[in-house]
Amino acid sequence: MIVVSAASGAFGRLVVDRLLERCPADLVTAAVRDPGKAADLAARGVRVRPGDYDVPKTLRTVFEGADRLLLISSPELDPARRAAQHRAAVDAAVDAGVGSIVYTSFLGAGTQSDGVTAAHHATERGLHRHFAGPSRSAGYGSFVLPTKNESADLICHRRLCSQSAPCSAARTSK
C-alpha cells in the first residue's frame, strides 16, 4: 500500500492522480486532515483516511500497513512547529513499520539548518537517523527530494512504484 500525506492539497492531488495511472486505486491511501475534502478521491476508489500532522495518533493509524509513504512537507510557516509536525509523521511511520519514505524537502536543506531550511534539515536528519546505518531493518530506506517541484512522475514511478512495489505492473491509459 502507498500512502500520500496531505493528499487533499494541490501537490498531493497531483501525485494521487499520477499514481492512479499506474496503480490500482485500492493500493493508494490518501492521508488528509479532513476526509470530507477528499470525497472525490474516495469516489475514484482511493482509501481516504484522517491523517493530521498535529494529531500523531491519526498518522500512526493511517500509516499502518503501508509499504511506502510520500511525506509531503507541512505548509506550516513556523519552523519549530513544522519540524515537530514532520518529526511526529516520521515517528508514526517508523512505529507503523512503513518500508520507505519519500519526503518533499527543500533545496539545500541537507547542508543548511537555518531560515526556511531549518525544519526540512531537521526532518532529513530524522529520516537518516531512523533509516540509515547498521541498525536499520531490512527493506527500510528513505529518499529526500530536493523540492516540491519534482515531477509527480518521478515520485510515483521511480520512487513509490519501484520494480518491487505491488503496482509495478503499470496500467496504461488511453
Express each pLDDT in 123-153 by its tens digit. Answer: 777 777 777 655 444 333 445 554 444 434 4
Lowest mean pLDDT among 7-16, 51-60, 111-120, 135-144: 135-144
Domains, the chain, with CATH or none: 2-160 (3.40.50.720)
Q: Rounded mean pLDDT of 25-45?
A: 96
Mean pLDDT of 81-110: 84
In the chain, where do the E strands start and end?
Answer: 2-5, 28-32, 47-50, 68-71, 100-104, 141-145
User: Looking at residue 32, what is its pLDDT?
Assistant: 97
Least confident stretch, 12-26, 60-74, 149-163: 149-163
How many whole angstroms separate alpha carbon 26 and alpha carbon 31? 14
| Closest to 167 (Cα-Cα) out of 21, 15, 16 | 21
Looking at the predicted structure, is the pLDDT value of residue 24 above 80? Answer: yes
d(CA 151, CA 136): 29
Mean of per-residue pLDDT scores for the chain = 77
| DSSP calls for 130-169 | HHSSTTSPTT-EEEEES-TTS-HHIIIIIIIS-TTSTT-S
Instruction: State yes or no: pLDDT of 17 exceeds 80.
Output: yes
